[in-house]
Structure 1
Amino acid sequence: QKNHLSGLKRKYLKIQFDTVQQLMRVRSDLMHVVEKNEEERDAVDAFESIYGVKRVERPQDYINCIIDLREYDVPYHVRFAIDNDVRSGQWYNVGVSGSDVLLQRREDLLQRAEVHVCAFDIETTKLPLKFPDAEYDSVMMISYMIDGQGYLIINRECVGEDIEDLEYTPKPEFEGHFRVKNVADEVGLLKAWFSHMQEVKPGIYVTYNGDFFDWPFLEKRAAHHGIKMNEEIGFQCDSNQGECRAKFSCHLDCFAWVKRDSYLPQ
């Protein structure tokens, strides 16, 4: 049904595949079948509305009865979690046997797994009237907040004097006390931030337009100094997908929410 909240139910034929490639190939074939069958149904409906006669359908081929496809766009990892009842926030014992991964839910652990959240932003140098370019511009500062505590790392190559600890509280509910660390140069700034991330191990990183700017800029500047960001904190930029990802931590780019909700009334 078009309205999945209506409570009406119907039977579906479930098809499973060994690979995502097989699913995509069959989906492509069936989408053409569905479009053809929908056109034929529209023609039948038009005939019935004109002549007031209800036709009895006797399909010659069952493939002519396929009029809709569902859940073909569910990502593989979401489908796996649904089928295997894997729940975010639950505790599991994880083991590996050959090529199989074994997940055993820990029913005795009830406390929620708290994660550290790091929201960060970088400031860079740039030429007049130009957008920052990681090929020759550098990171001036990196400010970040972890679980309510603010931090600021200063690149003294770009700042004339040491900066002391400061407070930035734009609103009473957004209190911000920042511990400032002054380092000699850009490589010192990058190493200091990577070291702190290794120590805290945030489970969630939050940025604003970080997929497009902050992460790629940090990755390129680190590479400029012979440092691999992926080896330091596990994050690697995927230019094809336009995202920066890690296997053990999540990145939330708030700009995606702004783009999604930009049409809503203010």
Structure 2
Amino acid sequence: MQRMKQKHAISIVVGIILCSLLLLAFVYAEPTDSKNQREQTPTLFIHGYKGGPRSFQTMLQRMEHNNWAEKAMVIHVAPNGDIVFGGRLAKHHNPLIQVIFAEDKASIAQQTIWIEDILYRLKNIYEIDQVNIVGHSMGGLTATNTILQDSMNKEFPHVEKLVVIASPFKGIDKNNYFKVNKGNAAVDLRPHSQALTNMIQRKTYFPPSISVLAIAGVSNNYGTDGLVRLDSAMGIEAIVNEKQLKRKIFYNKRATHSGLHELEAVDQRIATFLWKNTLE
């Protein structure tokens, strides 16, 4: 009986020692990937109306090839709003995240809801505190609308930098375009649409701390990229302060609406704007 009590006492002592060792190991452990992720600033790439996987694919490949950044994730959004994250963020150099909407003709309001869901998960699951966003065409409108709607929401990462490429803030002033292109997105892309008007009316909600780069192309003698007028592509100037806005216009026959994100000069300008300190 006495021997059993001794064994029991020894077991208790050993248990206490093991627990103490585990506690010390936890306290003095090296920083985890979670801390590293909090220090990262991923960049989300949002395609435009009728866009998809190929919209930013080659740009991201070129950025990786130049060792400017690394593609870390692809996020697929189903028509019903289900979201699938593919890839990992841990320890990437300037991580890139490509967002792909299966329903590529959804309204700005609907796309904003999907981006909000993505940002919420990045903050609360992946522990990301800050992001950059690059949007082409309607993707830039959705990104801007999300910022205007949620800049004060602590459940989302804060946006540090925004790049809008050929985003028609004054709409697409081309009647023939809407004879072919239909749907909720097409409604929002018309000049003076309610969605575009609402963004300008809420301009005071755009944080002055966010640096903005507006990129436009002029590929013809009409001052357009073949679809969007120059003044419309620079229309974000009606929303953000002059001090926080940078502009870059590419005068090139290849600087068409769908060709801008295929120009290496555009890659370079975006990379310098987003990651100047890490490229030097």
Q: Please, what TM-score do these two structures have when normalized by structure 2?
A: 0.26
Structure with higher helix content? 2
Query: Higher relative contact order by CA 8 Å / sep ≥ 6: 1 or 2?
Result: 2
Q: Please, what TM-score do these two structures have when normalized by structure 1?
A: 0.27
